[in-house]
Amino acid sequence: MKKLIPVLIFLCSCEAWVKNDSRLYGVYISDDFSPQEQQEIYDGFVAWSIATDGEVFFERTNNKNTPNLLTVNLKQMPDDLAGFTYTGPNSTNATIDINVKVLEPDWRKNLKQLVSHEVGHALGLNHIGPGNIMCKDIACGNPKLTCEDVKQFCKVWDCDYKTKYVCQ
């Protein structure tokens, strides 16, 4: 049987997120994801807290009116598209749409990586070169956040990347 290898393209509005001074974000994850998937998705957020030594924090919530809210939804999307991130009209919140295909085994294993990539966009980051979370697709991406990712983060968020855990 011919095995199809999915080409996962991460897409974004590439519109910089308006900086949140409290650096605390609410995270609303759709019930369309199983509890285990929801945990993997949340891990994709927490990866940014760990890699940046706590420059940003993410707290799960069921309240859609939470300020600075990042919402994760499952959505029917074209096959070559894995995720899409866009900010709300007032830019105090953002939505991350994840392709329903991510629930299939071949895509599923990339769920956390995909979410970390999309969260990077929500934090105002653009695509960078191969071997990093913020590379444009799964083939050039990296399963974990790298020093280059954090370097870009610190440019937007005004911190010293050299002091951060992943850059040691």
Backbone angles phi, psi at 157, to 5 degrees: -100, 0
- Give 17 or 66: the residue with its C-beta nearer to Zn ion: 17
Which stretch, 3-11, 16-24, 64-72, 96-104, contacts Zn ion (CB under 5 A)? Answer: 3-11
Output the residue with the shortest Cβ distance to Zn ion. 10
Work out how close the CB of 81 gets to Zn ion at its nearest, in angstroms, rounded to a whole number: 10
In angstroms, what is the minimal distance from the CB of 101 to Zn ion? 17
**Which residue from 12, 27, 29, 56 is in contact with Zn ion, where contact means CB under 5 A?**
12
Bridge pairing between strands 81-87 and 94-99: antiparallel
Q: How many CB atoms lie within 10 A of CB 114?
A: 25
Query: Which residue stretches of the chain are H helix?
Result: 35-51, 105-108, 111-122, 147-157
CB of 21 to Zn ion, least distance (A): 25
Joined tokens for residue 13 = 């509005």
Segment contacting Zn ion (CB under 5 A): 11-19, 51-59, 86-94, 99-107?
Answer: 11-19
Q: Which residues pair with 11 in a beta bridge?
A: 84
CA distance 143 to 33: 21
Q: Which is nearer to Zn ion, 140 or 147 (CB)?
A: 140
Position 10 contacts Zn ion (CB under 5 A): yes
| Site of interaction with Zn ion (CB under 5 A) | 10, 12
